[in-house]
Amino acid sequence: MLELQDAFARKFHYLRLSVTDVCNFRCQYCLPDGYRPDGRKTFLTLDEIRHITQAFATMGTNKVRITGGEPSMRRDFTDIIEAVASTPGIRKVATTTNGYRMAERVADWRSAGLDAINVSLDSLDPRMFHQITGQNRFHEVMAGIEAAFAAGFEQVKVNTVLMRGLNDGELGQFLAWIKSNPIQLRFIELMQTGEMDQLFERHHVRGAAIKEKLLESGWQQRVRAHNDGPAEVFWHPDYVGEIGLIMPYAQDFCASCNRLRVSALGKLHLCLFGEYGVELRDLLQHKGQQAALQRRLREALADKKATHFLHQGQSGMTPHLASIGG
């Protein structure tokens, strides 16, 4: 098998597949004015999703995260899970969701083959949750997390963007929450994207500062497995839950990159903050195109850069993470 490998000997076992740009939340750092429909866009069909997944799986990918936009806004979301999960070679199917549909649907998603779930939850205070996300749905999301455990997920990952002056005072509450709950709480450092104005300077909290606090209070770092996501994970003997830190501004963040992205419009993105996407859609139309599709993926990968340029303030062409599957 010809594996997906770049010029820096990084291998890519993990695909993040966006299935829609549409989102019903208006998170301050992502889509503060809400999603603006564009009638010309058509998102990947179920068959196109099957073809992409098959090509990646043939080249060594074994984990797929279905994301968006909000992936559960797709009416055929459960079918998408089923299509990805039934692709030979795919061993783990995950999704990232804002959780608004989880309470009623998560059991179906699990039956369709979903192995892992990440829910975004930026505050444990319903009012702050509303302020950050533009949606008064805190209780629905919490009910969704409960429903995930009831449906048989042993762990749920929760994504939280800590922001100075908004929710950064809640660290203690978050820790208390995971003391007896099997949640991996992942603090994502706020990333600067193209459409942000003053928000980044106003609210950015350094992930490294949170790491120092954790280490001082007895948290210990785990060793990474090869298809783990980008988080540095910490555990503590007194806690059932874990903490993950996602620090894209950390010096060696890109060295362990094992992920590629395909947007909901069928473009391959080598980096969340890359400059361009490689068109794949013309090669997703029938099964007979698999060899050509794999060749295009391999050729594109030769261009993957060693690192992003976020430190220099360059966020590439990414206007916000919903457009490329954050």
**Could you say whether residue 29 binds ligand SAM (CB under 6 A)?**
yes
**Could you say whether residue 315 binds ligand SAM (CB under 6 A)?**
no
Query: Is the Cβ–Cβ distance between 90 and 53 less than 8 Å?
Result: yes
**Could you say whether residue 28 binds ligand SAM (CB under 6 A)?**
no
DSSP-assigned letter for residue 281: G
Query: Is the Cβ–Cβ distance between 20 and 72 less than 8 Å?
Result: no
The verdict on whether residue 69 carries a ligand-binding annotation is yes
Residue at 4: amino acid letter: L
Between 99 and 241, name the residue whose CB sits nearer to ligand SAM: 99
Q: How far apart are the first and last CA of the chain?
A: 29
Q: Say how many C-beta atoms besides its own lie within 10 A of residue 149's C-beta.
A: 15
Question: Which of 15, 49, 81, 188: binder of ligand SAM (CB under 6 A)?
Answer: 188
**Could you say whether residue 67 binds ligand SAM (CB under 6 A)?**
yes
The span of 34-42, 50-58, 261-269, 318-326 binding ligand SAM (CB under 6 A) equals 318-326
The verdict on whether residue 50 carries a ligand-binding annotation is no
**Strand pairing of 116-120 and 92-97?**
parallel
**Could you say whether residue 262 binds ligand SAM (CB under 6 A)?**
no
The span of 64-72, 230-238, 273-281, 292-300 binding ligand SAM (CB under 6 A) equals 64-72
- Between CA 228 and CA 214 the distance in angstroms is 21
Between 246 and 283, name the residue whose CB sits nearer to ligand SAM: 246
Residues in contact with 36: Cβ distance below 8 Å, sequence separation at least 6, in sequence order:
none
**Could you say whether residue 190 binds ligand SAM (CB under 6 A)?**
yes
**Could you say whether residue 97 binds ligand SAM (CB under 6 A)?**
yes
For 99-126, give one letter per residue: b (16+ CB within 10 A) or e. Answer: bbbbbebbbebbebbbbbbbbbbbbbee
* Per-residue binder mask for ligand SAM (CB under 6 A), 145-184, x = binder: --------------x-x-----------------------
Per rule CB under 6 A, count of chain residues that contact ligand SAM: 19
SS3 state of residue 261: strand
Residues 108-147 close enough to bind ligand SAM by CB under 6 A: 120
Q: Which residue minimizes CB distance to ligand SAM?
A: 326
Q: Say how many C-beta atoms besides its own lie within 10 A of residue 185's C-beta.
A: 23
**Could you say whether residue 205 binds ligand SAM (CB under 6 A)?**
no
Tell me the C-alpha to C-alpha distance, in Å, between residue 33 and each of 74, 180, 215, 310, 322.
21, 37, 38, 24, 13
Residues in contact with 256: Cβ distance below 8 Å, sequence separation at least 6, in sequence order:
224, 230
**Could you say whether residue 23 binds ligand SAM (CB under 6 A)?**
yes
The verdict on whether residue 23 carries a ligand-binding annotation is yes
The binding site for ligand SAM (CB under 6 A) comprises: 23, 29-30, 67-68, 70, 96-98, 120, 159, 161, 188, 190-191, 193, 321-322, 326
Q: Which residue positions form the known binding site for S-adenosyl-L-methionine?
A: 29, 69, 120, 191
